[in-house]
Amino acid sequence: MDTPAPARPAVKATEESVLAIRHWTPTLLSFRCTRPAAFRFTPGHYTRLGLGSGEERVWRPYSLTSGPDEDVLEFIAVRVPGGEFSQRLGELKVGDGIGVDKAAYGFLTVNQLAPGKDLWMLASGTGLGPFMSILRDQAVWRDFERLILVHGVRHAAELAWRADIETMPPLAWRPQAKARLRYLPVVTREPGATVLADRIPLLLADGRLEAAAGCALSIADSRLMVCGNPELARSLREHLGARGYATNRRGVPGQMAFEKYW
Ligand SMILES: Cc1cc2nc3c(=O)[nH]c(=O)nc-3n(C[C@H](O)[C@H](O)[C@H](O)COP(=O)(O)OP(=O)(O)OC[C@H]3O[C@@H](n4cnc5c(N)ncnc54)[C@H](O)[C@@H]3O)c2cc1C
Ligand SMILES: NC(=O)c1ccc[n+]([C@@H]2O[C@H](COP(=O)([O-])OP(=O)(O)OC[C@H]3O[C@@H](n4cnc5c(N)ncnc54)[C@H](OP(=O)(O)O)[C@@H]3O)[C@@H](O)[C@H]2O)c1
């Protein structure tokens, strides 16, 4: 069962090793580490990562970006100015040790939603992470008819995994895949980089997002997941709430789910 992350630093953790680092920009990186044999998670979950040694170790929550069946764990992280964990991320090297909480947490998982036909995944910045994991799980390709991934970033270089997303699903899954993916990148500070260039809540409110997706929202068929900037989540929650969409309440699955990163 999903449980909220404990407020105190993780004590039940394993020591893993960094296997690879990919720098998307000077402040945005993704990295892979070894996966403990007993580590289980549902796509959309986050865990807690620890960097630094001994008393100096700092723990922060990070969404898993890897698929549930992969041998390694993967994460994406932005380095924010002045952040304690961000400073340690800046020094991260292949071969370094990294603490990984033994448990995974969260409610941004497909099983929090009532069954539907269209799964909308709306992300800002590193909020893309959990949706990568969800798309790297064969289940959504079988269970939905349409998958719509909207990724809003400031600059085009921050459209992490763009090329990988554009070739999804993997060839091996295609015979069983019912779903078709519509990927809508949104770059807000580089005019001309993408067709859609305004903030996601505005694009949703004025109908441009549905037009670009070629898919209208409906309470009967649409399920929405939102991740990233808390203000983005707040605006979308307000807008969708006014249109009749609800979150999971007391175990009754709803039509939308949110995760805020700060
Ligand atoms: C459930 C959950 C999952 C998370 N998953 C991720 C993830 O997959 N990738 C990731 O990079 N971060 C993620 N975060 C945020 C992450 O835990 C850290 O807060 C972040 O990496 C910065 O840590 P810090 O110590 O450097 O600065 P902090 O002191 O933790 O943060 C300083 C400030 O930086 C800004 N900030 C923090 N995180 C972000 C972010 N991701 N994007 C934009 N601005 C931010 C906020 O203004 C925040 O107040 C998640 C947070 C939560 C609650
Ligand atoms: N991205 C960079 O170039 C950069 C460089 C160095 C440091 N940083 C730091 O890294 C952190 C994260 O930056 P980030 O770019 O990943 O995340 P971000 O600021 O949340 O921006 C990601 C996307 O979300 C949009 N957005 C921001 N606020 C929104 C709101 N209230 N409603 C709807 N959409 C909203 C942004 O649009 P807008 O463009 O309109 O804001 C952008 O398209 C920040 O603390 C920043 O200071 C970023």
Please give the mean pLDDT across all residues of the chain: 95
97 lies in the same domain as 133? no
Which pLDDT belongs to residue 5? 55
Q: How far apart are CA 231 and CA 213, in angstroms?
A: 23
| pLDDT greater than 50 at residue 10 | no
- Residue 118 sits in a domain whose CATH number is 3.40.50.80
Rg (the chain; Cα; Å) = 18
**Would the CB of 202 count as within 6 Å of ligand 2?**
no
**Would the CB of 44 count as within 6 Å of ligand 2?**
no
25 lies in the same domain as 131? no
Please spell the DSSP secondary structure of 56-124, one letter per residue. Answer: G-EEEEEE--S-TT-SEEEEEEE--TT-HHHHHHHT--TT-EEEEES--B-S-SGGGB---SEEEEEEE
- Residue 27 sits in a domain whose CATH number is 2.40.30.10
Q: Which of 23, 76, 194, 199 is the best mutation target for the ligand 2 pocket, counting ligand atoms within 8 Å of the beta carbon and taking the most?
A: 199
**Would the CB of 196 count as within 6 Å of ligand 1?**
no
Short-list 76, 44, 72, 36, CA closest to 60: 76
Amino acid at the residue 170: P
pTM more than 0.85: yes
In the chain, what percentage of residues exceed pLDDT 70? 96
pLDDT in tens, 95-144: 999 999 999 999 999 999 999 999 999 999 999 999 999 999 999 999 99
pLDDT in tens, 200-230: 999 999 999 999 999 999 999 999 999 999 9
Does residue 5 lie in a domain region?
no
**Would the CB of 262 count as within 6 Å of ligand 1?**
yes
Which pLDDT belongs to residue 251? 86
68 lies in the same domain as 134? no
Residue 242 Cα distances to 49, 59, 118, 227, 260, angstroms? 37, 37, 20, 19, 20
Does residue 162 lie in a domain region?
yes
**Would the CB of 24 count as within 6 Å of ligand 1?**
no
For residue 230, report the distance from its CA to the centre of ligand 1, in Å.
Answer: 11
Q: For ligand 1, what atom is nearest to the CA of residue 129?
A: 8
| pLDDT greater than 90 at residue 196 | yes
128 lies in the same domain as 251? yes
Query: N- to C-terminal Cα distance for the chain?
Result: 24
242 lies in the same domain as 155? yes
Which pLDDT belongs to residue 235? 98
**Would the CB of 85 count as within 6 Å of ligand 1?**
yes
Rounded to an integer, the average pLDDT of 183-195 is 98
In this structure, the residue with its CA closest to atom 47 of ligand 1 is: 262
Q: Edge-to-edge strands of the sheet including 28-34?
A: 58-63, 46-51, 97-101, 13-25, 28-34, 72-78
Instruction: Give the pair of three-digit tokens for residue 197.
Output: 């260039």
Paired with 247 in beta bridges are: 256
Q: Which ligand is nearest to the CA of 193?
A: 2
Rounded to an integer, the average pLDDT of 228-240 is 98
3-state secondary structure at position 212: helix
185 lies in the same domain as 234? yes
Instruction: Give the pair of three-digit tokens for residue 31.
Output: 């990295």
Rounded to an integer, the average pLDDT of 36-55 is 96
Q: Which ligand is nearest to the CA of 125?
A: 2
In this structure, the residue with its CA closest to atom 50 of ligand 1 is: 261
pLDDT in tens, 58-76: 999 999 999 999 999 999 9
Which pLDDT belongs to residue 9? 53
42 lies in the same domain as 164? no
3-state secondary structure at position 139: helix
For residue 161, report the distance from its CA to the centre of ligand 2, in Å.
Answer: 18
126 lies in the same domain as 237? yes
Which pLDDT belongs to residue 11? 56
Q: For ligand 1, what atom is nearest to the CA of residue 105?
A: 1
- Last residue in a domain, options 101, 129, 156: 101
pLDDT in tens, 157-167: 999 999 999 99
Q: How far apart are CA 184 and CA 221, in angstroms?
A: 19
Instruction: Give the pair of three-digit tokens for residue 246.
Output: 């609800």
Which pLDDT belongs to residue 4? 56
For residue 227, report the distance from its CA to the centre of ligand 2, in Å.
Answer: 13
Structural domain of 251: 110-260
Which pLDDT belongs to residue 171? 96
For residues 9 and 97, the model is more confident at 97
Which pLDDT belongs to residue 8? 53
116 lies in the same domain as 245? yes
Residue 253: count of CB within 10 angstroms of its CB: 17
